[in-house]
Amino acid sequence: MSAKDALISTAPKPATTRTVSANHSVSVPRDDSDFERARRGLVARHPDPALRDSRGRIVSDAGAYEFLRANPPATVNPSLWRQAQLNAEHGLFEVVDGMWQVRGYDISNITFIKGATGWIVIDPLTHEVTAGEALRLANEHLGERPVVAVIYTHSHVDHFGGVLGVTNQEDVDAGRCQVIAPEGFLRETVGENIIAGPVMGRRAMYQFGAGLPAGDRQHVDCGLGKMTPTGAPGLIAPTHEITRTGEEMIVDGVRIVFQLTPETEAPAEMNFFFPDLKSLCMAENCCHTMHNLVPIRGAQVRDALKWSKYINEVIELFGADAELVFASHHWPRWGRDDVHDFLVLQRDLYKWIHDQTMRQANHGHTAPEIAAMLELPEDFLASSHTRGYYGDLVHNVKAVYQRYLSWYDANPAHLNPHPPVEAAKRYVDFMGGGDAVLKKAQAAFDDGDYRWVAEVVNHLVFAEPTNSIARELQADALEQLGYQTESSTFRNAYLTGAHELRHGVPNLGDARARGKGMIRAMTIEQIFDTLGIRLISENVKNVRAVINWHFTDINERWVLELSHHTLHATQNKVVDNADVTVTIARTMILSIMNQETTFMDQVQAGTVTIDGDAAALLTVFGNLDLFLPGFAIVEP
């Protein structure tokens, strides 16, 4: 066996002397008031912090992070270690009279507000187990109450995915529980979690470090919260959408005034104020970290300018009356002055990133150049809630640039480069071959230039993916970068890359399981949009098909047309000479998409009627792609 094919070591390695020195020089926020806030109002903790599903599988385990009680090790940036310690505070906490939060068992918080007859739940976490256990904890210690309303602050999965743990579709349909969300919530939820779901879910493993075990050389935090639960999310569609700022509702006797904030942290998002509680919910628009202007898992680029303006608007609307600010991550802040100062600094952070990025862009500097030029002013570094534990200035600068100017920097050399493998082969050849690359890269590693090693050895891994020495060196470089970074998302991405170089790509099955819990809330238009991205275009060359659909339970008629390798859907239309007409209930097509049954089984059962050429239906449904999210990222 050659040296290139030698077995790669699999265990995480210690910090190098360069990393030890780098972490020793990090300035750590010294204000202990965050710890007081994070622990304030503790009512109870789960007796067993390892929360399990009905099969006994651990969904989340807050107890796995007990190691954070020690002093920071050399393998973690000490500022990130502090954030990880804060996020490790778990349990049921009283926020203000009539309001409680459960924190620390998911990446997000769930908030319970005592209404006249039951609980108003804000953001039911990511998974029904974590949400259900939170409700159980609240009922046990505060008195059992039915859930009469659920509020989704925005369209990200950690704010709705556990809804089936606190209510069910039957209660919602019967009017016993209403579901409130910002305008456009369902559209944005499906777009992110279904249409882009498979690729985004895979990339999210790098952002959140979902495949890394807890430990000081591996997963310590997610920046926004402790960990992401294991398992597929669910969804119940909203029964009421907030459509304007200033809209007011009385929900189970509790008065709420809403502020829409689209294109901020999520495409559909809202803040809201409880006048009688003098409490302001900032959703995920103001947390105890610099946020992402585009997450490294991928998403639509956020509008930093609008974000700052919405925070300014909330100060003007509610700042004079708010005595408490809380969010769907981290811990609250109490006192009118503290609320005001917190909001002002958050507002100014996003405006500064926006303005200074575009100032330098208008001088002709590119995104990587601006990211290297800008440094956060001391005003922001001095406060922990404006430091980059989740977002990162380097990444956020590039997001602002991308929103205005796209990925392209106007240099024609970058307009149509070779794809990664072909470019890598050429780079390695130009550098004198694999052995020469490794020799020079090892010297750079010894000098502590881990960023350069990660960049240059990546070419060798893509040119020669079985070269174990290259994989080892690349993993080592990524690991040290992870140990040094203050951003949890960067750390998780670096360490996940190192882990996969050493252990290989994980077997994640196919993407259907994750989407099953959300498919039931989809509209017919969203169903057909989802089918469109799965159509294997090359299999339907010169094929045309027209299918009439009648969805009996919602009395909707649609036409689905296969034309020029694409699917198009039109509502309120019937084509007289269609190839086939399908009469079916919406609930039934959802069951078919969830693979709980098949068209053939339901035709035989008499619940689905197919009139015409059934082959046309097979032409569409027999040529749908299957997404396998366990694709390679740090190797070809």
Domain boundaries, the chain: 31-405, 523-621
CA distance 334 to 325: 7
Q: What is the mean pLDDT of residues 314-326?
A: 98
pLDDT at 1: 30
pLDDT at 194: 84
Per-residue pLDDT tens over the stretch 345-401: 999 999 999 999 999 999 999 999 999 999 999 999 999 999 999 999 999 999 999
Q: What is the mean pLDDT of residues 323-330?
A: 98
429 against 198, higher pLDDT: 429
Q: What is the mean pLDDT of residues 474-491?
A: 98
**What share of the chain in percent tops pLDDT 90?**
89
Question: pLDDT at residue 151 above 50?
Answer: yes
594 is written with which tokens?
Answer: 């969830």
- Tell me which architecture the domain covering 523-621 has in CATH: 2-Layer Sandwich (3.30)
Question: pLDDT at residue 2 above 90?
Answer: no
Tell me what the pLDDT averaged over the chain comes to.
95
Identify the band that residue 509 occupies on the pLDDT scale cut at 50, 70 and 90: low
Q: What is the mean pLDDT of residues 617-623?
A: 91
Q: In what order do the strands lie in the sheet with 545-551?
A: 566-571, 556-563, 545-551, 580-584, 609-612
Beta-carbon contacts of residue 492 (< 8 Å; ≥ 6 apart): 206, 207, 208, 209, 212, 219, 222, 482
pLDDT at 110: 98
CA distance 288 to 388: 10
Question: pLDDT at residue 507 above 50?
Answer: yes
Closest CA to 530 of 183, 144, 194: 194
CA distance 96 to 411: 55
- According to DSSP, the residues that pair with 119 across neighbouring strands are 114, 147
Say whether pTM exceeds 0.75: yes
pLDDT at 520: 81
Question: pLDDT at residue 210 above 70?
Answer: yes
Per-residue pLDDT tens over the stretch 516-526: 678 888 899 99
Question: pLDDT at residue 8 above 90?
Answer: no
**492: how many CB neighbours lie within 10 A of its CB?**
28
CA distance 396 to 387: 12
Question: pLDDT at residue 140 above 60?
Answer: yes
Identify the band that residue 15 occupies on the pLDDT scale cut at 50, 70 and 90: very high
Cβ-count burial of 292 within 10 angstroms (0-12 exposed, 13-18 middle, 19+ buried)?
buried
Q: What is the mean pLDDT of residues 250-268?
A: 98
pLDDT at 593: 82
Fold (topology level) of 31-405: Metallo-beta-lactamase; Chain A (3.60.15)
pLDDT at 230: 92
Closest CA to 357 of 343, 346, 369: 369
Question: pLDDT at residue 40 above 90?
Answer: yes
Cα–Cα separations (whole angstroms), residue 326 to 181, 274, 281, 286: 18, 11, 5, 9
Per-residue pLDDT tens over the stretch 74-83: 999 999 999 9
429 is written with which tokens?
Answer: 């050849």
Question: pLDDT at residue 490 above 90?
Answer: yes
Q: What is the mean pLDDT of residues 88-110?
A: 98
Per-residue pLDDT tens over the stretch 530-560: 999 999 999 999 999 999 999 999 999 999 9
Question: pLDDT at residue 511 above 60?
Answer: no
Return the minimum-mean-pLDDT range out of 33-42, 389-398, 622-631.
622-631
Per-residue pLDDT tens over the stretch 568-587: 999 999 999 999 999 999 99
Question: pLDDT at residue 6 above 50?
Answer: no
Beta-carbon contacts of residue 394 (< 8 Å; ≥ 6 apart): 371
Contact 610, 476 (CB under 8 A): no
Q: What is the mean pLDDT of residues 404-415?
A: 96
Identify the band that residue 508 occupies on the pLDDT scale cut at 50, 70 and 90: confident
pLDDT at 116: 98
Question: pLDDT at residue 427 above 60?
Answer: yes
CA distance 522 to 236: 9
pLDDT at 510: 62
pLDDT at 7: 47
